[in-house]
Copies of this chain bind each other. A is one copy, B any other.
Amino acid sequence: MAKYQIAVLPGDGIGPEVMDQANRVLDAVCSKFDIQLERTVYPVGGYAIDHHGEALPESTLKGCEQADAILFGSIGGPKWDSLPLDKRPERAALLTLRSHFDLFSNLRPAKIYEGLAHLSPLRVDIAQSGVDVLVVRELTSGIYFGQPKGLEGEGEEQYAFDTMRYSKREIRRIAISAFDAAMKRGKKVTSVDKANVLVCSRLWREVVEEVAKDYTEVTLEHIYIDNATMQLLCDPAQFDVMLCSNLFGDIISDECAMLTGSMGLLPSASINGDGFGMYEPAGGSAPDIAGKGIANPIAQILSASMMLRYSLGEEAAADAIDAAVMKTLSDGVLTGELMPKEQRDKACTTEQVGTYLIQQI
């Protein structure tokens, strides 16, 4: 029997309640596929600040180090927004975990599910033409981590500076992630850059072109970031895999997520070179609906499925979850935010969605 250690970090807001459902679903697939998942819960985010004085306690980091993967909920909320930036949950925990484990490859699928096109903020005909994009975002370099960064000078001439920086090695490994992913999907990579302005983008293009030579079946296109945000609006169906640097990926992945109109359905994976990864919903901690039992658990459940697939290699179990999600959605077992306003009295609770989904496994 395959046996794995998972660090579970539920975090704040709706994190704990959607994590409960992900755990139930994991229990169901584990017993069906004979997998043993030992799960240990660790504090993170605002909860960890309140109870342990910091967003990412040493014990949590140690726990993650000993695990085969991290299943992450969501963090942050108004309560901690007035803390100094470096102490705030999102930054202190997320950026540290990403760089500590070298989780350079961030996979963010965004897709309009059948029957849910009406949720998209796009015009009906465009939404129906389909959005099914995988954003592959570089997550541990670029302007997020580039040095030097700081403040210099005095008075009105005081200036701030940040450094965008990419090495060939860093570009190559994320490009390979994107091309590998494209081989399992639509065999098209659109690399997003600003090569008409940035030296980093020029090196990016050069290395991406080199990597493309090893993937003759994959079509490669380059697009400027400004044009990409436009093309996503008028013709999103042209995109399959979008390969982005850290900052551009932050922007593009959020735009893609919003295009689907159903953030509560979108998982994400952040993986390093050894297959270790952190898996979390694309949406935030939604403090406004936390504790009400109405949050959509599917993004968290699909994050668990990505964990099985990418870090544990348990493809069959991941497929089973994905199929159960599809069935649940197409059977109309939905939380309120996925329904037209006038039908929301028929909405399912977080737990009802979890229960129905488990029955499909």
Contact = CB atoms under 8 A, between A and B. Distances in A.
26 contacts: A85-B202, A88-B196, A91-B197, A121-B122, A121-B233, A121-B234, A122-B233, A124-B124, A143-B164, A143-B198, A149-B198, A150-B199, A151-B203, A155-B168, A157-B167, A158-B167, A158-B203, A159-B165, A159-B166, A160-B202, A160-B204, A161-B199, A162-B163, A164-B164, A225-B250, A227-B254
A98 to B, nearest CB: 12
Interface of A: 85, 88, 90-91, 95, 120-124, 126-127, 143-144, 146, 149-151, 153, 155-170, 172, 194-200, 202-204, 225-227, 229-230, 233-234, 247, 250-251, 253-255, 257-259, 261
A167 B159 contact: yes
A208 to B, nearest CB: 13
B226 A254 contact: yes
A156 B143 contact: no
A233 B258 contact: yes
A123 B117 CA distance: 11
Nearest to A118: B123
A229 B257 CA distance: 10
A198 B257 CA distance: 23
A91 B203 contact: no
B156 A167 contact: yes
Contacts of A259: 233
A1 B89 CA distance: 63
A254 to B, nearest CB: 4
